[in-house]
């Protein structure tokens, strides 16, 4: 269930803007790493490059030693990496169960036609992220932001990832919802899932990560334990706005 | 796949009512029903691509035209029998349409709609200038072999076609493929982010849609026994197909059928009072009011009313 992510000398340029600047870091199998940085630091762009939604200008991205940066997004997902989005992207006219169903689908048209859905697995995934059984028929419009984040996690989990990228997973959540999502992440960590988590809520992030990577303007400025990175002068200057 | 006994009961009832109609209605009404059946086939075909995936095609007559012209040319100019010309026409529509329109599936939103519209206009111009000895040029072709004779036989033929198209589409769209296609219409990026190859799925939707359009086009031309480019590659024809699907309920199979019947009969019954183009004003008004009441169409309106009734009893 774990995977190793190696990012080497990653560069992404949008015209004159350097969004990722020679970035190198590794996430070990089963490790949970926080990716932090001020607004516009390029955290989501790193996620987009890992998933193949943006192609990097230079550098390599390897999953368990296999170079994945030439693969399409669906192929990367089949290789074992999946992400959630800062703004949840549910299928608006589909129930919670149907949303999860899309994540469970094989990338084969023939199997989509010949094999029916698996309600037991849909329920299992819904329960795994903290939904109750009676919420399966709910539409996304009837869900709270916390539930939408859970739905996003369930659909991501449905693709059977070994590495999960969570983007601003606590944004817009109440204290109770943060605790609920944290419990889900801790449970998955216990089962060996590898995580790379972007969050502005550092307090919520702290108990969930083994290590923190800090970036600013696409450049790595610190990599180490949570306390060490928080104490780092460059991080404080850029991220917290104090020297 | 969520199939229930009442689904089949409703289909059987629908089929029963359709086949009983010639006993009770006039020949004139049967002829109107034939057009409604063909419009339903075209609207279902449009809906598989546009209603589900959200890729709005303004050029469906382009696909219908490939099917219609291929079969017309094969039978008229090369003496092909209908049994051969129609399947060939369907294949040519699928392959020809794919070659031309596949690059367009990479563009999104209004650009896709514009490209498809351009293809329809292109086809209209091409059939007039390229080999008019084959296509019949601006005048089209007449005296084509027909599949049936008389209103009753035409009705049975078109009803069988519409039911076969509707039932096969309904069954296919109830599989996970249907769910995936609808998901593309709701959020294409999230489908890709769920590990599915969106381009392949769109291609499948397009091929199925083209197959139905080609089949409908080829059979329609051999019902009429003639083909005229201006009637086929006409913006009013495009709008009639789209409005039929939308007014009935896009993203469903039964919706386009309801819409096609509603529109055909609305236009037909308005004819004695408004013989000219003013009828389209009324039909535009009716469509507008319906959208304001229920943007998801008549099918959703009926479904909501039924569930309200069920809750009340």
How far from the centroid of its chain's Cα atoms is residue B40's Cα?
5
Return the residue of A nearest to B181 by Cα. A102
Asked if A113 is an interface residue toward chain B (Cβ–Cβ < 8 A), one would say yes
Return the residue of A nearest to B202 by Cα. A109
Nearest CB partner across the interface for B196, out of A53, A107, A116: A107
Query: What are the helix and strand counts (H, E) for chain B?
Result: 16, 0
B206 within 8 A of B97, measured Cβ to Cβ: yes
Q: How far is A74 from chain B (nearest CA, A)?
A: 4
Q: What is the pLDDT of residue A240?
A: 60
**Rounded Cα gap, residues A84 and A150, in angstroms:** 10
Show residues of chain A in contact with B182, CB under 8 Å: 91, 93-94
Q: Give the angle B193-B178-B243 at the CA atoms, nearest 5°.
A: 110
Asked if B171 is an interface residue toward chain A (Cβ–Cβ < 8 A), one would say no
- Residue-wise pLDDT for B169-200, tens only, equals 999 999 999 999 999 999 998 999 999 999 99
Phi, psi of B30 (to 5 degrees): -60, -40
Cβ of B196 within 8 Å of Cβ of A94? The answer is no
Q: What is the pLDDT of residue A242?
A: 55
Cβ of A105 within 8 Å of Cβ of B196? The answer is yes
Spans of chain B, pLDDT less than 50: none
Cβ of A85 within 8 Å of Cβ of B193? The answer is yes
Q: What is chain A's pLDDT, residue by residue, as a tens digit (243 residues)? A: 789 999 999 999 998 899 999 999 999 999 999 999 998 899 999 999 999 999 999 999 999 999 999 999 999 999 999 999 989 999 999 999 999 999 999 999 999 999 999 999 999 999 999 899 999 999 999 999 999 999 999 999 999 999 999 999 899 888 988 999 999 999 999 999 999 999 989 999 999 999 999 999 999 999 999 999 998 888 888 866 654
**Rounded Cα gap, residues A100 and A80, in angstroms:** 17
Asked if B192 is an interface residue toward chain A (Cβ–Cβ < 8 A), one would say yes
- Beta-carbon count within 10 A of A70 CB: 11
Q: What is the pLDDT of residue A239?
A: 67
**Rounded Cα gap, residues A228 and B311, in angstroms:** 61
Structure-token pair, residue B37? 């059946």
Cβ of B195 within 8 Å of Cβ of A155? The answer is no
3-state DSSP assignment of residue A64: coil
**Rounded Cα gap, residues B224 and B127, in angstroms:** 19
Q: What is the pLDDT of residue A241?
A: 66
Q: How far is B107 from chain A (nearest CA, A)?
A: 16
Q: How far is A177 from chain B (nearest CA, A)?
A: 23
Q: How far is A232 from chain B (nearest CA, A)?
A: 35
A178 within 8 A of A204, measured Cβ to Cβ: yes
Q: What is the pLDDT of residue B236?
A: 84
Show residues of chain B in contact with A159, CB under 8 Å: 194-195
Q: How far is B198 from chain A (nearest CA, A)?
A: 9
Nearest CB partner across the interface for B176, out of A89, A90, A117: A117
Asked if B149 is an interface residue toward chain A (Cβ–Cβ < 8 A), one would say no
Residues 29-68 of A with CB under 8 A from B: 51, 53
pTM: 0.90
Show residues of chain B in contact with A114, CB under 8 Å: 175
Alpha-carbon distances, residue A87 vs A74, A75, A172, A180, B64 (angstroms): 20, 23, 10, 18, 41
Instruction: Return the number of CB contacts < 8 Å for A and B.
Output: 85
The mean of the pLDDT values for chain B is: 90
Q: What is the pLDDT of residue B5?
A: 84
Residues 275-304 of B with CB under 8 A from A: none
CA distance between the termini of chain A: 40
- Which residue out of A97, A112, A148 would a mutagenesis test of the B interface target, given it has the greatest number of B Cβ atoms within 10 Å? A112
CA atoms within 13 A on the CB side of A108: 7
CA atoms within 13 A on the CB side of B18: 22
- Beta-carbon count within 10 A of A223 CB: 17
B21 within 8 A of B33, measured Cβ to Cβ: yes
Structure-token pair, residue B90? 């369907």
> To the nearest 5 percent, what fractions of chain A are helix, strand and coil?
40, 25, 35
**Rounded Cα gap, residues B186 and A61, in angstroms:** 30
Is the complex ipTM more than 0.85?
yes
Show residues of chain B in contact with A74, CB under 8 Å: 192, 195-197
Residue B49 burial (C-beta neighbours within 10 Å; 0-12, 13-18, 19+): buried
Residue B95 burial (C-beta neighbours within 10 Å; 0-12, 13-18, 19+): middle
What residues pair up with A216 in beta bridges, in sequence order? A219
A121 within 8 A of A104, measured Cβ to Cβ: yes
- Say if strands A219-224 and A211-216 run parallel, antiparallel, or are unpaired: antiparallel
């Amino acid at each position: 269930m774990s995977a190793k992510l190696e990012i080497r000398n990653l560069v992404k340029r949008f015209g004159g803007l350097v969004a990722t600047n020679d970035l190198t870091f590794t996430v070990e199998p089963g490790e949970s790493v926080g990716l932090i940085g001020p607004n516009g630091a390029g955290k989501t762009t790193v996620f987009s490059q890992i998933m193949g939604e943006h192609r990097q200008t230079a550098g390599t991205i390897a999953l368990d030693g296999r170079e994945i940066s030439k693969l399409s997004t669906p192929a990367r997902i089949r290789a074992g990496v999946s992400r959630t989005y800062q703004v949840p992207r549910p299928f608006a006219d589909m129930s919670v169960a149907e949303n999860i169903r899309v994540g469970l689908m094989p990338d084969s048209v023939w199997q989509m036609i010949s094999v029916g859905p698996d309600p037991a697995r849909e329920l299992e995934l819904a329960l795994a992220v903290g939904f109750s059984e009676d919420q399966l028929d709910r539409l996304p419009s009837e869900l709270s932001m916390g539930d939408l984040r859970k739905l996003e996690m369930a659909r991501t989990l449905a693709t059977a990832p070994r590495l999960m990228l969570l983007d601003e997973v606590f944004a817009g959540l109440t204290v109770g919802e943060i605790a609920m999502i944290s419990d889900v992440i801790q449970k998955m960590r216990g089962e060996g899932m590898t995580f790379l988590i972007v969050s502005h809520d550092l307090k919520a992030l702290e108990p969930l990560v083994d290590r923190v990577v800090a970036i600013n303007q696409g450049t790595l400025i610190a990599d180490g334990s949570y306390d060490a990175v928080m104490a780092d002068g460059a991080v404080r200057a850029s991220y917290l706005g104090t020297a | 796949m969520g199939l229930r006994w009442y689904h089949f009961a409703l289909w059987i009832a629908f089929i029963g009512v359709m086949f009983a109609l010639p006993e009770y209605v006039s020949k004139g009404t049967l002829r109107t029903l034939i057009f409604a059946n063909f419009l339903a086939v075209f609207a279902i075909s449009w809906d598989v691509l546009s209603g589900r995936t959200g890729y709005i095609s303004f050029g469906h007559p382009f696909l219908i035209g490939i099917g219609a012209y291929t079969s017309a040319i094969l039978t008229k100019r090369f003496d092909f029998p209908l049994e051969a010309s129609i399947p060939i026409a369907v294949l040519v529509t699928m392959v020809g349409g794919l070659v031309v329109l596949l690059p367009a599936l990479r563009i999104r939103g209004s650009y896709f709609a514009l490209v498809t519209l351009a293809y329809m206009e292109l086809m209209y111009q091409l059939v007039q200038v390229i080999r008019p000895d084959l296509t019949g040029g601006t005048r089209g072709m007449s005296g084509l072999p027909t599949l049936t004779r008389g209103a009753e036989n035409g009705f049975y033929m078109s009803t069988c076609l519409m039911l076969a198209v509707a039932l096969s589409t309904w069954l296919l769209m109830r599989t996970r493929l249907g769910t995936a296609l609808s998901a593309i219409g709701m959020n294409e990026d999230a489908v890709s982010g769920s590990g599915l190859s969106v381009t392949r799925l769109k291609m499948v939707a397009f091929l199925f849609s083209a197959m139905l359009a080609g089949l409908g086009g080829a059979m329609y031309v051999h019902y009429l026994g003639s083909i005229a480019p201006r009637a086929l590659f006409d913006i009013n024809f495009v709008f009639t197909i789209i409005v039929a699907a939308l007014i009935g309920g896009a993203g469903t199979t039964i919706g386009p059928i309801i819409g096609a019947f509603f529109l055909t009969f609305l236009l037909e019954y308005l004819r004695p009072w408004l013989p000219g183009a003013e009828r389209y004003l009324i039909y535009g008004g009716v469509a507008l009011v319906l959208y304001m009441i229920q943007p998801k169409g008549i099918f959703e309106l009926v479904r909501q009313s039924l569930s309200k009734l069920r809750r009340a009893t």
